[in-house]
Amino acid sequence: MIKIDSYKYYYNPEDGKYYIRKKKNSPHSLKKLKDKLNKSKDKKDRKDKTRKGNKGNRSDDATNKVNKSHDKANTANETNKSHDKANTANETNKSHNKANTANETNKSHDRANTVNEMNKPHDRANTVNEMNKPHDRANTVNEMNKFHDKAETANEMNKLDEKMSKVDQTDHSLYKMSIKNNHKHPIKVSIIMPTYNKYHQTSLSLYGLSKQTFSHAEYEVILVDDASSDNTSDILKEVDVPFKFKYIQMKQNKGRSSVRNIGINHAEGDLLIFLDGEMLAPPSFIENHYKHHMHESNLVVTGAMHYEGVYTFIMPDYNEDQMAHLKELVNNDAEYRRLYENYEQTKQHSNGPCPLVTKEDIDTNRFQRLSFPNRYFLNSGLKHFGERLEGFTLPYIAFLSGNVSVRKAQLKKSGYFDETFVGYGAEDWELGYRLYKNGVQFVLDPSTVAYHQEHGISKRKVKEQWGNHYRFVKKHPNIDVLILSLEWKELPFMHMHQTLVEYNQLEERFPDEYNELKHAFRVMLFRIIEYLNNGQPVTKLYDLPGGSEERIKIHQQFETLRPRGFDYLASSFEQIYYL
């Protein structure tokens, strides 16, 4: 049998085409075939000399070169039945060598007499196949022996069919992985995208990633479907992407941390970009992430601080605020306004998403008319610290897994995502904290921004968020983690930063003083998250009897904070102590 899998497909970024070439370090299947045929030729020559007196040796040689050896001699004789027509067939084939190359990629059966039956007409070789039907089977095999020299022509004719149909699959106990465009070109960047029941947005996200300025042969996208119940599994057969695409379908829902770790394990690139499945990446997205890591190995680069939202669909689970916001944005474009008005008239008849943004809108950037900035983190004080967050005491909060990049080597050093974090929130900050403690530099770059396709907000997320935050503070009960509890009071990050700076100064300047106040402050910060996780009212966080000695000391110590210049610490302590 001629094993076509001895050849592999690869992508040439110079002309944007896919080609076939022989795999390295693998035996040439056609050479093996020729060796077998030559052995068969010697045996058949001796028989023919006895029977025919050496007549017609020259034509017998031509036939023997293409006949495959069989276990039984009568199979070889079957191949020669139509030998008298071979010369005419050869003359016909000379003018059709390139077209016949399309047939060259068809696999031969174990027996040569079935080779022609296996050759199916390709879209651009139908006429040639019709001509070959009466040809000698031996000539068909001979054409296949020219496969290596002319394979590029055949692949040119069939590249779309081959690219869409060739999928490598592996089955694991937890998931099934399918790979499209499984070339062997070295991968520099691996994009890891978890998704769950966001079929429509994820399809657009993959389209955006197919338009990258970064060389398509040098990045891969790993989509990890966390056991979606919608049409997400259809993406594998629907998408036509120029990059290596790995679709991992979980057999049961495992959570964000687990599926990202699976993505990491299958990543080939030295640089990893974590990107949520509903993020729409501009053309220079990968290139702008990659340029930071070219000369520095210990960076975390985030575009999530410069958050951009966009309404690509009208989703039935939008809340009132989202619908009001969208209604305002559609007025920026007449066509979007028409689509919105049509939805308003027909929404009672449909429960599915109504598409607003098309692929053409992504090509022309028209979708940006439905986008909006959300500068929550920057407006909370981070913009004052510059691109590298110099002097900021909580840089790890920049590790937002919706859009962040880091070298795989740094994750091997600090550890992957903690899989005890299930559901929404804090799993990325916890990993970011470990990276921070290992000396990684955090970088904010607005050119790495991606557009978050808005979707409905689950009420379940709030409980999941506090539950994961509780795991975070239990795992790292340090003041630079506990201080984030002040976010519950809606204090800006600049206020948290200044409070932490003053707390550290208090420790340094007065190591043997303020012990009762410092202890009470840490306990209260922890209890905020503990009470929220338990569904308790956040009140009386450090309740002491009125005349107790500890209570009196805390009050005395608190009274000296502001006179000594600890204004932010005093303010933060006061806001939670008297709850």
Give the separation between CA 424 and CA 128, rounded to whole angstroms. 59
| β-sheet bridge partners, residue 224 | 194, 248
Q: What is the mean pLDDT of residues 232-261?
A: 95
Work out the average pLDDT over 82-103.
35
Model confidence at 229: pLDDT above 80 = yes
Asked if 431 and 375 count as a contact pair (C-beta separation under 8 A), the reply is: no
Q: Which pLDDT belongs to residue 294? A: 95
Taking residues 110-122, report their average pLDDT: 36
Q: How many CB atoms are closer than 10 A to CB 281?
A: 27
Task: Tell me how far apart the alpha carbons of residues 257 and 437 are, in angstroms, rounded to a whole number.
Answer: 20
Q: Give per-residue burial for 507-521: e unless 16+ CB within 10 Å, then b.
A: eeeeeeebebbbebb
Q: What pLDDT band is residue 105 in, cutting at 50, 70 and 90? A: very low
Confidence of residue 139 (pLDDT cuts 50, 70, 90): very low
What is the token pair recorded at 182?
């499984």
Please compute the mean of the pLDDT values over residues 197-218 and round it to a whole number.
97
What integer pLDDT is reported at residue 14 of this predicted model?
53
pTM: 0.72
pLDDT in tens, 435-478: 999 999 999 999 999 999 999 877 777 778 889 999 999 999 99
**One-character DSSP codes across 486-536:** GGGGT--HHHHHHHHHHHHHHHHH-TTS-HHHHHHHHHHHHHHHHHHHHT-
C-alpha dihedral over 557, 559, 560, 562, to 10 degrees? 130
pLDDT band at 365 (very low <50, low <70, confident <90, very high): very high
Residue 428, pLDDT score: 96
What is the overall mean pLDDT for the chain? 79
Q: What's residue 386's pLDDT?
A: 93
pLDDT for 40: 53
For residue 95, count other CB atoms closer than 10 A to its CB: 11
Indicate the Cα dihedral angle 510, 516, 520, 523, nearest 10°: 90
Give me 118's structure tokens: 């296996």
Contact predicate 337/331, CB 8 Å:
yes
Q: What is the mean pLDDT of residues 73-80?
A: 36
Tens of pLDDT, residue by residue over 306-344, are: 989 999 999 988 999 999 999 999 999 999 999 999 999
Cα–Cα distance between 57 and 43 in angstroms, integer? 13
At residue 546 the predicted structure's pLDDT band, cuts being 50, 70 and 90, is confident
Tokens of 100: 């016949």
Task: Name the strand (E) or helix (H) holding 247.
Answer: strand 244-250
Q: What is the rounded CA–CA span in Å between residue 324 and residue 215? A: 40
Segment among 72-76, 464-468, 500-504, 571-575 with least mean pLDDT: 72-76
Sign of the torsion formed by the C-alpha atoms of 340, 346, 352 and 355: negative
Mean pLDDT of 268-291: 97
Q: Is the pLDDT of residue 204 over 60?
A: yes
Rounded average pLDDT over 523-545: 95
